[in-house]
Amino acid sequence: MIRPAHAIPNAHFQPGINLHFFHPVHPLYLCWQLGLIRWLGAWQPQVLIVEANPRYLATRLAVSWMRQRGGKIIGWGLGAPPLRGVSGRLRQAERAHFLQGMDAVIAYSRRGAEQYRLAGLPPERVFIALNAVARRPTITPPPKPPSFEGKPKLLFVGRLQARKRVDLLLQACAALPAHRQPHLAIVGDGPERSALEALAAQLYPAARFLGDRRGAALSEAFFWADLFVLPGTGGLAVQQAMAHGLPLVVAEGDGTQEDMVQPANGWLVPPNDLTTLKQALDEALSDAARLRRMGAESFRLAVEAVNVEAMAETFDQAIHCVLGRNA
C-alpha cells in the first residue's frame, strides 16, 4: 500500500489553499494558490514540478521566482488539446507560450505528450508517466476457471458522482440478454449513491452497493470480479484493476485510457453511449476463457509499464534531465 506523505521520512507535506473563480469546466475558470510563493521561499527548491495549466495564476509567479534564482521548472499535465474559435486560438497561443517557458513537461499519456510537442516543446524535453496509484504487482492473481461459475461478475470502483456514469452501467446490464446479465458490485461512495441505489432498484436489482473499500477489502473485490467496467470519466481504478489481473471495459476520455486499454486486454467505448457499452459487455461476457487471457495481459502491462514505480522513474529521469545529470 502506498504511504501518505506524512509517513515518508524525507517528504514534506504542505497543505495548500486554492481560490477558484468559476467552475473548472467554465471557459473563464481561474485558480489562485494562496501561499505558494511563501512556501517556495521557505523550501528553496532546485526543481519545481507544477501542474502545466496556465489558468493557475500563482504558477506564473512561481515560474518567475524560480527563474530569478536559477531553478528549473517541470510541468505535469494531461496535455494541450486544440481549442476552437477565435478566443480558443488566442488561448491556445498563450498556452503554448506558457508551456515553452518550462524546462520539461511530463504527460499522463502518449496523446498528451504529442500535444505538448505540437505546442512547441522539444521532444527530448517531453516525458510520459502513465498515471498510477498501485505499485508494481509482485504476486500473481489467483487463477480463475476457464468458464464462469454461475453468473459472470462485474465490478465498478470509483466515486459515485454523475460523471462516472454508473447509471449508464445499470442500464447496459439491464439491457443484456437474461442469460448474460451479471452479478454487479459497485464499490465507492459519493453524492449520487442514493439516487443510483433507487435507480438500481428499478432497473437492475441484482446490483450490490458495497460502499467505500480500501486495502485488503478492495483487493478482495477486485479478485472476486471477472471484468472491470468504468463507464464514465476517471482512470486510476483502471490501473488498480490491471494490477489485479482484470480485463477492462472503459469509456474513452482524456487519453490516459488509450495507454492502458488495448484490444488484447479490453474494450474502449465512446463516452455516454449506452448501445456501444451494452455491446461491449455482451461481447466480453460471451467468452470466459478469452477474458482470462485478457486479464493476464492486463497484469503483464501493470508489471511492465503501468505502476507507481515506473511513474516515479519517469519523474526521476525528468528531474535529472533539467539538472543536466545522467539519470
Which tens digit of pLDDT belongs to each residue from 115-143?
999 998 999 999 999 988 888 998 899 99
SS3 assignment, position 319? helix
* Percent of the chain predicted with pLDDT > 90: 72
Of the pLDDT bands very low, low, confident and very high (cuts 50, 70, 90), residue 88 is confident
Per-residue pLDDT band for 6 (boundaries 50, 70, 90) equals: low
* pLDDT of residue 61 exceeding 60: yes
pLDDT at position 1 = 47
pLDDT tens track for 65-85: 999 999 999 999 988 888 887
Please tell me the total number of residues recorded for the chain in this structure. Answer: 327
Residue 288's Cβ-count burial label (10 Å; 0-12, 13-18, 19+) is middle
Parallel, antiparallel, or unpaired for β 30-34 and 17-21? antiparallel
DSSP 37: H
Name the residue with higher pLDDT: 27 or 306. Answer: 306
- 124: amino acid identity, one letter: E
Domains of the chain: 5-131+308-322 (3.40.50), 153-304 (3.40.50.2000)
pLDDT average, residue stretch 241-260: 90
Average pLDDT over residues 39-60: 92
Backbone angles phi and psi of 185, in degrees to 5 = -110, 130
The yes-or-no verdict on residue 327 having pLDDT over 60 is no
**Secondary structure element (H or E) that encloses residue 135, with its range:** none
Angle, alpha carbons 70-76-81 (nearest 5°): 125
Higher pLDDT, 253 or 266: 266
CB 204 within 8 A of CB 184: yes
Whole-number Å distance between alpha carbons of 50 and 53: 8
Q: What per-residue confidence (pLDDT) applies to 4?
A: 62
What is the pTM for the complete model shown? Answer: 0.86
Closest CA to 125 of 146, 150, 107, 108: 107
Q: Which DSSP letter does residue 141 get?
A: P
- Name the β-bridge partners of 19: 32
Q: What is the pLDDT of residues 140-154, one digit of tens each?
A: 999 999 999 899 999
- pLDDT for 3 equals 57
Q: Which residues of 236-270 are buried (b: 16+ CB within 10 A; e: fewer)?
A: ebbbbbbbbbbbbbbbebbbbbebbbeeebbbbbe
- Quick check: helix, strand or coil at residue 128? strand
Q: Chain-centre distance of CA 128, in angstroms?
A: 13
